[in-house]
Amino acid sequence: MKINMKKNIALVCICVLIVGCKKSSSHAPKYNYELKEIQQKLSYMLDSNIKYQFSALFPYKDKNKEYLTFASNSAILFYDLKKGDLLFKTEIEQDGPNGFYGFSGYHIEDMNHIYLTSSIQPFIAQIDTTGTIIKKIKYGTTESGYNVTPTFTSSSFLNTPMVFVDGQIYITQMPTFFHPMSKTPVSIVIDTLKQISKDLPFSFPPLFKDDELGKVAGASDAFSRDFNGKEFVYSFYFNENIYVASLDHKKIRKIPVKSKYIPHIKVEKKEEDMFTGAKRDFEIACYGNMYYDKYRKVYYRMAYPETNLDNDKNVNYVRLTSSGRKKFSIIVVDEHFNIIGETLFPEYQYCPTVLFIHKDGLYICDNHPMEAGFNEDVLSFSCFELVKK
């Protein structure tokens, strides 16, 4: 009897160990896949008045055509995605009845429903391709009393695109000195018919203390948010975990998605000297945007290993801000949030903040401002396929 009891206890222990091992290894990296450049390329000639800064760049497809769209100089430009021809542009007026100042990003539902965001005005404007304002959707104050601030930018630079679900708009918020980070809702939902805002129950994770806001090196409070059709996925730049939220944000899953090129994330005090501070902002290790690829049902998370700019000549930090840092990798995560690969890219060759996802693959801008052959009159992309090693 005692022997049988001992055997049973041993079997239970073994089972517990097996289950424990399975749980602990469920998100263990496998690195079976990599991003490999293929021959497919796209190129777009830019007018002389277009700035080589692309904070909002999105592909758009209607029944007849595929477009590559991006914002420049208070206008949204529509290019033929495959042919590279500029088809037309929508001017965003600054004054008058259709005046919209502080233009910071956009989202295209269709040609009659283009939504503009502002870094100044507390509303979203709906326009058509002529730039005529059809409707204003105000932010207002949420039911809980939170005053929604115009910090939302529907951009690709931070990858925080506007999300529409059943007549409601999901937008993001950034912490300000007027509202503590620990009490700032990361996302807000707006009812477009009633124009009522509601804050969602997910605040900023403890990246650093509230009184350190603005005093930490790098884009310390930055994050990206993408939507897979059912859930929102958040990637905070100074957190190796990602956060997967249900539509109502009542269920939050914290999942490690750690780069093998970043041993750990370190929060540093911002340098007092402006030049030294700017340099250090681009040297410290951090994470970046996360994108959902609906064609391959995977996610891409940007990672920026620590680097050194001491020997780099003529570094333009403004250009680096809009085009991406010196060194980066892309972590590939499957639909269950398991790491299946990570690709390290060559320095100063590709722009990790200027990219888009297509059925062909992942298109990344290959005209980096720090590259010797940089041409500011061309926006060009190389295509990368996800392949098994």
- pLDDT tens for each residue of 143-182: 888 888 888 899 998 999 999 999 899 999 988 777 777 8
Is residue 11 scored above 50 in pLDDT?
no
Compute how many other C-beta atoms are within 10 angstroms of the C-beta atom of residue 233: 23
What token pair was written down for 33? 């896949």
What token pair was written down for 215? 């005093």
Sequence length of the chain is 389
pLDDT of residue 41: 97
Is residue 62 scored above 80 in pLDDT?
yes
Is residue 215 scored above 80 in pLDDT?
no
Across residues 252-271, what is the average pLDDT? 91
Q: Find tokens 């939507």 and name the residue.
A: 227
Read off φ and ψ for residue 314, nearest 5 degrees: 55, 45
What is d(CA 211, CA 180) in angstroms, rounded to the nearest whole number?
8
Across residues 377-381, what is the average pLDDT? 96
Average pLDDT of the chain is: 88
**Closest alpha carbon to 32 in 333, 263, 247, 304:** 333
Min mean pLDDT across 168-177, 204-213, 377-386 is at 204-213
pLDDT bracket for residue 227 (50, 70, 90)? very high
DSSP β-ladder status, 163-165 and 168-172: antiparallel
CA angle 267/273/279 to nearest 5° reads 60
Residue type, 74: S
134-148 as b/e: b if 16+ CB within 10 A: eeebebeebeeebeb
Q: How far apart are the first and last CA of the chain?
A: 53
- pLDDT tens column, 270-315: 777 777 878 888 899 999 999 999 999 999 999 999 999 988 888 8
pLDDT of residue 26: 60
What is d(CA 255, CA 333) in angstroms, rounded to the nearest whole number?
11
What token pair was written down for 223? 């994050």
When comparing pLDDT for 276 and 235, which is higher?
235
Q: Find tokens 């609906």 and name the residue.
A: 294
Beta-bridge partner residues of 245: 232, 252
Q: Does domain 25-388 have CATH number 3.90.420.10?
A: no
When comparing pLDDT for 201 and 216, which is higher?
201
When comparing pLDDT for 28 and 198, which is higher?
198
When comparing pLDDT for 65 and 147, which is higher?
65
Q: Find tokens 């269709």 and name the residue.
A: 110
Our measurement of the distance from residue 13's CA atom to the centroid of its chain's CA atoms, rounded to an integer in Å, reads: 44
Is residue 120 scored above 60 in pLDDT?
yes
pLDDT of residue 5: 45
Residue type, 229: G
pLDDT bracket for residue 372 (50, 70, 90)? confident
Is residue 7 scored above 50 in pLDDT?
no
Across residues 102-117, what is the average pLDDT? 95
Across residues 79-89, what is the average pLDDT? 96
Contact in structure between 210 and 188 (CB atoms under 8 Å): no
